[in-house]
Protein backbone atom coordinates (compact mmCIF):
# COMPACT_ATOMS: atom_id res chain seq x y z
CA UNK A 1 0.00 0.00 0.00
CA UNK A 2 1.37 3.41 -1.01
CA UNK A 3 2.29 5.89 1.70
CA UNK A 4 0.36 9.21 1.71
CA UNK A 5 3.48 11.16 0.62
CA UNK A 6 4.03 8.89 -2.38
CA UNK A 7 0.33 9.03 -3.24
CA UNK A 8 0.32 12.83 -3.19
CA UNK A 9 3.48 12.94 -5.29
CA UNK A 10 1.92 10.67 -7.92
CA UNK A 11 -1.30 12.71 -7.80
CA UNK A 12 0.72 15.78 -8.74
CA UNK A 13 3.06 14.09 -11.21
CA UNK A 14 0.85 11.84 -13.34
CA UNK A 15 -0.04 14.57 -15.91
CA UNK A 16 3.66 15.20 -16.54
CA UNK A 17 4.34 11.46 -16.79
CA UNK A 18 1.59 11.04 -19.39
CA UNK A 19 2.72 14.17 -21.22
CA UNK A 20 6.29 12.89 -21.52
CA UNK A 21 5.12 9.42 -22.56
CA UNK A 22 2.82 10.74 -25.27
CA UNK A 23 5.27 13.36 -26.55
CA UNK A 24 8.05 10.78 -26.78
CA UNK A 25 5.97 8.30 -28.79
CA UNK A 26 4.41 10.67 -31.33
CA UNK A 27 7.29 10.00 -33.71
CA UNK A 28 6.27 6.33 -33.86
CA UNK A 29 2.83 7.35 -35.13
CA UNK A 30 4.33 9.75 -37.64
CA UNK A 31 6.69 7.06 -38.89
CA UNK A 32 3.84 4.62 -39.43
CA UNK A 33 1.23 7.15 -40.56
CA UNK A 34 3.02 9.93 -42.49
CA UNK A 35 -0.33 11.47 -43.40
CA UNK A 36 -0.57 12.83 -39.86
CA UNK A 37 0.58 16.43 -40.14
CA UNK A 38 0.73 19.01 -37.38
CA UNK A 39 -0.15 22.54 -38.51
CA UNK A 40 -0.93 25.90 -36.97
CA UNK A 41 -4.68 25.51 -37.73
CA UNK A 42 -4.77 22.16 -35.95
CA UNK A 43 -2.93 23.74 -33.01
CA UNK A 44 -5.49 26.55 -32.86
CA UNK A 45 -8.48 24.22 -33.02
CA UNK A 46 -6.93 21.93 -30.40
CA UNK A 47 -6.60 24.92 -28.05
CA UNK A 48 -10.22 25.87 -28.70
CA UNK A 49 -11.39 22.35 -27.83
CA UNK A 50 -9.29 22.31 -24.66
CA UNK A 51 -10.56 25.78 -23.71
CA UNK A 52 -14.20 24.71 -24.14
CA UNK A 53 -13.67 21.66 -21.93
CA UNK A 54 -11.93 23.75 -19.27
CA UNK A 55 -14.63 26.43 -19.48
CA UNK A 56 -17.34 23.85 -18.83
CA UNK A 57 -15.52 22.89 -15.62
CA UNK A 58 -14.67 26.48 -14.69
CA UNK A 59 -18.34 27.50 -14.67
CA UNK A 60 -18.47 26.18 -11.11
CA UNK A 61 -15.86 28.65 -9.82
CA UNK A 62 -15.72 32.42 -9.48
CA UNK A 63 -14.38 34.29 -12.47
CA UNK A 64 -11.10 36.21 -12.17
CA UNK A 65 -10.76 39.87 -13.07
CA UNK A 66 -10.03 40.95 -16.64
CA UNK A 67 -6.46 41.89 -15.73
CA UNK A 68 -5.80 38.50 -14.16
CA UNK A 69 -7.37 36.77 -17.14
CA UNK A 70 -5.17 38.65 -19.61
CA UNK A 71 -2.05 37.85 -17.59
CA UNK A 72 -2.89 34.14 -17.57
CA UNK A 73 -3.73 34.23 -21.27
CA UNK A 74 -0.34 35.79 -22.02
CA UNK A 75 1.48 33.23 -19.87
CA UNK A 76 -0.44 30.28 -21.33
CA UNK A 77 0.27 31.48 -24.85
CA UNK A 78 3.99 31.51 -24.11
CA UNK A 79 3.89 28.06 -22.52
CA UNK A 80 2.06 26.41 -25.43
CA UNK A 81 3.25 28.50 -28.37
CA UNK A 82 6.82 29.13 -27.20
CA UNK A 83 8.11 25.75 -28.41
CA UNK A 84 6.61 26.56 -31.83
CA UNK A 85 8.66 29.73 -32.29
CA UNK A 86 10.36 28.24 -35.34
CA UNK A 87 7.00 27.67 -37.02
CA UNK A 88 5.91 31.25 -36.46
CA UNK A 89 9.16 32.56 -37.92
CA UNK A 90 8.81 30.16 -40.84
CA UNK A 91 12.39 29.04 -40.15
CA UNK A 92 12.32 25.98 -42.36
CA UNK A 93 16.03 25.40 -41.82
CA UNK A 94 15.47 24.88 -38.08
CA UNK A 95 15.40 21.11 -37.73
CA UNK A 96 13.76 19.21 -34.88
CA UNK A 97 17.12 18.32 -33.34
CA UNK A 98 18.21 21.96 -33.05
CA UNK A 99 14.89 22.93 -31.51
CA UNK A 100 15.15 20.04 -29.02
CA UNK A 101 18.59 21.20 -27.92
CA UNK A 102 17.36 24.78 -27.58
CA UNK A 103 14.37 23.79 -25.44
CA UNK A 104 16.59 21.97 -22.94
CA UNK A 105 17.73 25.44 -21.88
CA UNK A 106 14.21 26.26 -20.66
CA UNK A 107 15.14 25.43 -17.02
CA UNK A 108 17.97 27.97 -17.23
CA UNK A 109 15.52 30.67 -18.33
CA UNK A 110 13.16 29.65 -15.53
CA UNK A 111 15.93 30.01 -12.96
CA UNK A 112 16.91 33.45 -14.26
CA UNK A 113 13.28 34.61 -14.43
CA UNK A 114 12.55 33.38 -10.90
CA UNK A 115 15.59 35.29 -9.65
CA UNK A 116 14.51 38.48 -11.43
CA UNK A 117 10.87 38.33 -10.29
CA UNK A 118 11.51 36.90 -6.83
CA UNK A 119 13.89 37.35 -3.97
CA UNK A 120 16.05 34.30 -4.64
CA UNK A 121 19.57 34.64 -5.95
CA UNK A 122 20.55 32.79 -9.09
CA UNK A 123 22.56 29.69 -8.19
CA UNK A 124 24.23 26.79 -9.95
CA UNK A 125 21.21 24.65 -9.10
CA UNK A 126 19.19 26.79 -11.50
CA UNK A 127 21.70 26.48 -14.31
CA UNK A 128 23.38 23.10 -14.45
CA UNK A 129 20.39 20.80 -15.24
CA UNK A 130 19.50 22.64 -18.44
CA UNK A 131 23.11 23.05 -19.50
CA UNK A 132 23.74 19.36 -18.78
CA UNK A 133 20.77 18.30 -20.89
CA UNK A 134 21.93 20.49 -23.78
CA UNK A 135 25.45 19.06 -23.62
CA UNK A 136 24.00 15.55 -23.49
CA UNK A 137 22.06 16.03 -26.72
CA UNK A 138 25.10 17.59 -28.40
CA UNK A 139 26.81 14.21 -27.97
CA UNK A 140 24.31 12.66 -30.40
CA UNK A 141 22.70 15.46 -32.40
CA UNK A 142 24.49 17.79 -34.82
CA UNK A 143 25.33 21.18 -33.39
CA UNK A 144 22.71 23.75 -34.45
CA UNK A 145 23.71 25.92 -37.36
CA UNK A 146 24.01 29.63 -36.64
CA UNK A 147 24.14 30.75 -40.26
CA UNK A 148 20.42 31.54 -40.65
CA UNK A 149 19.15 34.57 -38.66
CA UNK A 150 15.62 33.17 -38.55
CA UNK A 151 16.80 29.87 -37.13
CA UNK A 152 19.00 31.69 -34.64
CA UNK A 153 16.03 33.79 -33.53
CA UNK A 154 13.80 30.72 -33.20
CA UNK A 155 16.38 28.82 -31.12
CA UNK A 156 16.76 31.84 -28.87
CA UNK A 157 13.07 32.60 -28.49
CA UNK A 158 11.81 29.04 -27.94
CA UNK A 159 13.37 28.50 -24.48
CA UNK A 160 13.03 32.17 -23.46
CA UNK A 161 9.32 32.43 -24.23
CA UNK A 162 8.55 29.00 -22.79
CA UNK A 163 10.54 29.59 -19.60
CA UNK A 164 9.08 33.03 -18.92
CA UNK A 165 5.59 31.69 -19.63
CA UNK A 166 6.03 28.83 -17.15
CA UNK A 167 7.11 31.20 -14.37
CA UNK A 168 4.31 33.71 -15.02
CA UNK A 169 1.71 30.95 -15.20
CA UNK A 170 2.83 29.41 -11.91
CA UNK A 171 3.03 32.77 -10.11
CA UNK A 172 -0.59 33.61 -10.92
CA UNK A 173 -2.99 33.34 -7.98
CA UNK A 174 -6.04 32.73 -10.17
CA UNK A 175 -7.95 29.48 -9.64
CA UNK A 176 -6.16 26.77 -11.58
CA UNK A 177 -9.08 25.90 -13.81
CA UNK A 178 -9.53 29.55 -14.87
CA UNK A 179 -5.80 29.73 -15.52
CA UNK A 180 -6.29 26.81 -17.88
CA UNK A 181 -9.17 28.52 -19.68
CA UNK A 182 -7.20 31.74 -20.06
CA UNK A 183 -4.05 29.92 -21.12
CA UNK A 184 -5.83 27.95 -23.83
CA UNK A 185 -7.54 31.15 -25.03
CA UNK A 186 -4.24 32.99 -25.26
CA UNK A 187 -2.61 30.14 -27.17
CA UNK A 188 -5.64 30.01 -29.51
CA UNK A 189 -5.11 33.67 -30.34
CA UNK A 190 -1.41 33.17 -31.06
CA UNK A 191 -1.93 30.07 -33.20
CA UNK A 192 -4.86 31.79 -34.92
CA UNK A 193 -2.74 34.81 -35.83
CA UNK A 194 0.00 32.49 -37.05
CA UNK A 195 -2.54 30.67 -39.22
CA UNK A 196 -3.75 33.97 -40.68
CA UNK A 197 -0.24 35.13 -41.54
CA UNK A 198 0.70 31.73 -42.95
CA UNK A 199 -2.39 31.56 -45.17
CA UNK A 200 -1.99 35.04 -46.67
CA UNK A 201 0.42 34.12 -49.50
CA UNK A 202 -1.56 31.04 -50.66
CA UNK A 203 -4.95 32.31 -49.46
CA UNK A 204 -5.76 28.81 -48.35
CA UNK A 205 -5.45 26.73 -45.20
CA UNK A 206 -3.48 23.47 -45.01
CA UNK A 207 -5.56 20.32 -44.46
CA UNK A 208 -6.26 19.45 -40.85
CA UNK A 209 -5.47 15.92 -39.74
CA UNK A 210 -8.03 14.57 -37.21
CA UNK A 211 -5.30 12.44 -35.59
CA UNK A 212 -3.01 15.47 -35.21
CA UNK A 213 -5.91 17.44 -33.77
CA UNK A 214 -6.60 14.75 -31.17
CA UNK A 215 -2.91 14.46 -30.23
CA UNK A 216 -2.49 18.23 -29.97
CA UNK A 217 -5.57 18.58 -27.77
CA UNK A 218 -4.31 15.91 -25.38
CA UNK A 219 -0.76 17.32 -25.33
CA UNK A 220 -1.95 20.86 -24.61
CA UNK A 221 -4.36 19.71 -21.89
CA UNK A 222 -1.69 17.62 -20.19
CA UNK A 223 0.84 20.45 -20.43
CA UNK A 224 -1.42 22.95 -18.66
CA UNK A 225 -2.56 20.35 -16.13
CA UNK A 226 1.04 19.37 -15.35
CA UNK A 227 2.16 22.97 -14.97
CA UNK A 228 -0.78 23.66 -12.65
CA UNK A 229 0.32 20.91 -10.27
CA UNK A 230 4.11 21.23 -10.35
CA UNK A 231 6.65 23.98 -10.06
CA UNK A 232 7.93 25.64 -13.21
CA UNK A 233 11.29 23.87 -12.90
CA UNK A 234 9.66 20.48 -12.39
CA UNK A 235 7.48 21.02 -15.45
CA UNK A 236 10.58 21.96 -17.48
CA UNK A 237 11.93 18.47 -16.78
CA UNK A 238 9.84 17.34 -19.76
CA UNK A 239 12.53 18.80 -22.04
CA UNK A 240 15.03 16.33 -20.59
CA UNK A 241 12.67 13.39 -20.03
CA UNK A 242 11.20 13.32 -23.55
CA UNK A 243 14.60 13.12 -25.34
CA UNK A 244 15.66 10.49 -22.79
CA UNK A 245 12.61 8.33 -23.51
CA UNK A 246 13.12 8.69 -27.26
CA UNK A 247 16.75 7.69 -26.84
CA UNK A 248 15.77 4.59 -24.85
CA UNK A 249 13.27 3.56 -27.52
CA UNK A 250 16.06 3.10 -30.06
CA UNK A 251 17.56 -0.14 -28.69
CA UNK A 252 14.18 -1.39 -27.46
CA UNK A 253 12.05 -0.80 -30.56
CA UNK A 254 14.49 -0.31 -33.43
CA UNK A 255 17.22 -2.64 -32.15
CA UNK A 256 19.79 0.07 -32.80
CA UNK A 257 23.32 -0.27 -31.50
CA UNK A 258 24.18 1.14 -28.10
CA UNK A 259 27.24 3.40 -28.23
CA UNK A 260 29.20 5.14 -25.52
CA UNK A 261 27.81 8.44 -26.75
CA UNK A 262 24.22 7.27 -26.32
CA UNK A 263 24.97 5.90 -22.86
CA UNK A 264 26.65 9.15 -21.80
CA UNK A 265 23.74 11.13 -23.24
CA UNK A 266 21.21 9.01 -21.34
CA UNK A 267 23.11 9.37 -18.06
CA UNK A 268 23.36 13.16 -18.40
CA UNK A 269 19.69 13.53 -19.38
CA UNK A 270 18.65 11.34 -16.46
CA UNK A 271 20.73 13.40 -14.04
CA UNK A 272 19.22 16.63 -15.36
CA UNK A 273 15.67 15.25 -15.17
CA UNK A 274 16.10 14.02 -11.58
CA UNK A 275 17.54 17.36 -10.50
CA UNK A 276 14.62 19.24 -12.01
CA UNK A 277 11.95 16.89 -10.68
CA UNK A 278 13.22 17.22 -7.12
CA UNK A 279 11.62 20.06 -5.22
CA UNK A 280 13.88 23.09 -5.02
CA UNK A 281 14.19 24.68 -1.57
CA UNK A 282 13.47 28.09 -3.08
CA UNK A 283 10.45 26.98 -5.09
CA UNK A 284 7.63 25.33 -3.18
CA UNK A 285 5.44 22.75 -4.81
CA UNK A 286 1.91 24.12 -5.12
CA UNK A 287 -0.47 22.62 -2.61
CA UNK A 288 -3.30 22.79 -5.10
CA UNK A 289 -3.12 22.32 -8.82
CA UNK A 290 -6.39 21.42 -10.40
CA UNK A 291 -7.31 19.45 -7.30
CA UNK A 292 -10.85 20.80 -7.17
CA UNK A 293 -12.63 21.31 -10.46
CA UNK A 294 -9.76 19.75 -12.44
CA UNK A 295 -9.58 18.96 -16.12
CA UNK A 296 -9.68 15.27 -15.42
CA UNK A 297 -12.02 13.21 -17.47
Dist CA 188 CA 224 (whole Å): 14
pLDDT of 60 reads 77
**Which segments in the chain show pLDDT lower than 50?**
1-2, 281-282, 284-297
* The predicted structure's pLDDT at residue 296: 35
Task: Give 169-205 pLDDT, tens digit per residue.
Answer: 999 988 889 999 999 999 999 999 988 887 777 777 7
pTM of the entire structure? Answer: 0.88
Q: Distance (Å, rounded) from C-alpha 176 to C-alpha 290?
A: 5
Confidence at residue 95, expressed as pLDDT on a 0 to 100 scale: 81
Amino acid sequence: MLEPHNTNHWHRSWPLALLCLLASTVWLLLDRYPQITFTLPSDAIACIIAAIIALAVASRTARPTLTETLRCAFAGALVLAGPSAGTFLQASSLDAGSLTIALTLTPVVIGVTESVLGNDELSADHLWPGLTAAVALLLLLPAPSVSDPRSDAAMLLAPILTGIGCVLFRRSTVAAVWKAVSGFAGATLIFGLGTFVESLPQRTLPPISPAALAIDTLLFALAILALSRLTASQYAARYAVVPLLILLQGPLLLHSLVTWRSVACAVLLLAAAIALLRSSPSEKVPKEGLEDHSLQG
